[in-house]
Amino acid sequence: MQRALSLLRGVVRVEIICRHPERFLNLCASNDVELWGLERVGDAPDAGEIRGGVVLRVYMRASGFLRMRPLSGEHGFEIRRVTRRGAPVLIRKLRRRYILIAGLVMCVFITRALSLFVWDIRVLGNERVPAARILESLKTLGFSYGSFGPAIKSEQLANELILEIPELSWFAVNISGSRADVLVRERVLPPEIVYGDTPSMVVAKKSGVILKLSVLEGAALVKPGDTVEKGELLVTGILDSRGSGRRAVHALAEIEARTWYEFSAKMPSASVVKRYTGEKKRRRAIIIAGKKINLYFSSGILWSSYDKITETRRLTLPGGGLLPVSLVTDSFLRYEPVSTRQSLERAEATLKSGLTKRLRDAVGDGEIIAVVWDTREENGAVTVTLRAECREQIAEARGFTEAELPKSELSKSEFSKIH
């Protein structure tokens, strides 16, 4: 710290020729001149004024040198400056370089002026609402990259944004320098309410043969072993009893059934693959505060077939700070479509994998009992057919139709309230 301060005030390396070094050192101490880095160079040359003396080199502050120089004649030593360093030397060097000084002043001014604008926006606190949607809405409200920071009215922006995006419940903008942190809180939507007492029926969501039936509420219309069609009524929600007459209930049942599926997929035996020719073209562009500036003149690509790969790289400062500048590189890779005949096994494997996934999606939590595959190759195409037997839940609740409702129990207005 002491040395840094000395550099700021200017440091000189001086050469002293004297007969008695200790006297010079004591003179410095008594004049409050601090010394460091003392080095004995050797004996003084005989041709000089001081014969039989020694040559010393030492660092001292520029002010110390100016204090010691007038004492040289009186105390019998010679002192001369060898080098000088520090801020005063630098300022003296730069004093006549007007353009450089003007550049420095301009640089400081521009940096200060640019720091008043928003160059980086971070959206924090969002989980369901994408950041791109929030940024797009903010843009329509006049807040985006390049906005003037002091002119941003956070509260007004918050009110307008919440109207724009109803999923948000709270919003705030914190601006520090040229970075804006957009803090949001998402609205917690109330869960969907399922009314357990709403009259409903249970129907079959798939065709099949019923294996097991457990009715929790309502009256069963089918029994194990029955074959049912998709949409067929399985459990009714209308109960008729001697005591309470006809009444509507929320029918509830677990119905397991054997179901069958048949899926087919087709694929041409010959397929087109890309063969890259090795030719490559690059187009570069810079995005400054959301504005794209192309660094090329002709954007036309004359090739008929090519892949385009876009790579966007945000420029950063050495400390990790983001700059409002992104470098976009579009790479175009030329290829020629080549028709190749693929093996039957490979085509079959591809199709089987797709059909298996389709079957799993269709069955859901159900169990696949047996699968039969059929592969045929005809007219230049491979066709794979899947036939599967499964075991799954087929019960599905549905509301009452107006005709099904017991008229004595519910009026028309009540029906419309339910639905």
Among 4, 32, 223, 378, binds another protein (CB under 8 A): 32
Q: How far is CA 29 from CA 21, 57, 79, in A?
A: 12, 16, 16
Strands (E) located in 157-251? 168-176, 179-186, 200-204, 208-217, 219-220, 227-228, 233-236, 238-241, 245-248
The minimum distance between CB 33 and another protein, in angstroms, equals: 8
Q: Are 238 and 226 in contact (CB under 8 A)?
A: no
Residue 156 binding another protein, by CB under 8 A = no
Q: What is the C-alpha separation between 47 and 32, in angstroms, rounded?
A: 32
Residue from the set 12, 14, 16, 28 that interacts with another protein by CB under 8 A? 28
Write down the least CB distance from residue 55 to another protein, Å: 13
* Residue 51 Cβ vs another protein, minimum distance, rounded to whole Å: 19
Among 1, 4, 22, 189, binds another protein (CB under 8 A): 22
- Supply angle C-alpha 290, 292, 293, rounded to 5: 140
Tallying the residues shown for the chain, one arrives at 419
Give how many residues touch another protein by CB under 8 A: 16
- Which residues ranging from 90 to 109 are in contact with another protein (CB under 8 A)? none
Q: Report the alpha-carbon distance of residue 238 to residue 259 in Å, rounded.
A: 28
Within 13 Å and on the Cβ side, how many CA atoms surround 285?
18
The closest of 270, 278, 256 to 333, measured between CA atoms, is 278
Contact 384, 375 (CB under 8 A): yes
26 binds another protein (CB under 8 A): yes
For another protein, the closer of residues 61 and 334 by Cβ is 61
Contact flags string 34-73 toward another protein, x per CB under 8 A: xxxxxxx---------------------------------
**Alpha-carbon span 197 to 341, nearest angstrom:** 61
Nearest to another protein of 25, 183 (CB atom): 25
Identify the three-state secondary structure at position 192. coil
Question: Nearest approach, Cβ of 311 to another protein (angstroms)?
Answer: 56
Q: What is the smallest separation between the CB atom of 7 and another protein, expressed in angstroms?
A: 15
Least distance between another protein and beta carbon 24 (Å): 9
366 binds another protein (CB under 8 A): no
Q: Give residues in contact with another protein (CB under 8 A).
A: 20-22, 25-26, 28-30, 32, 34-40
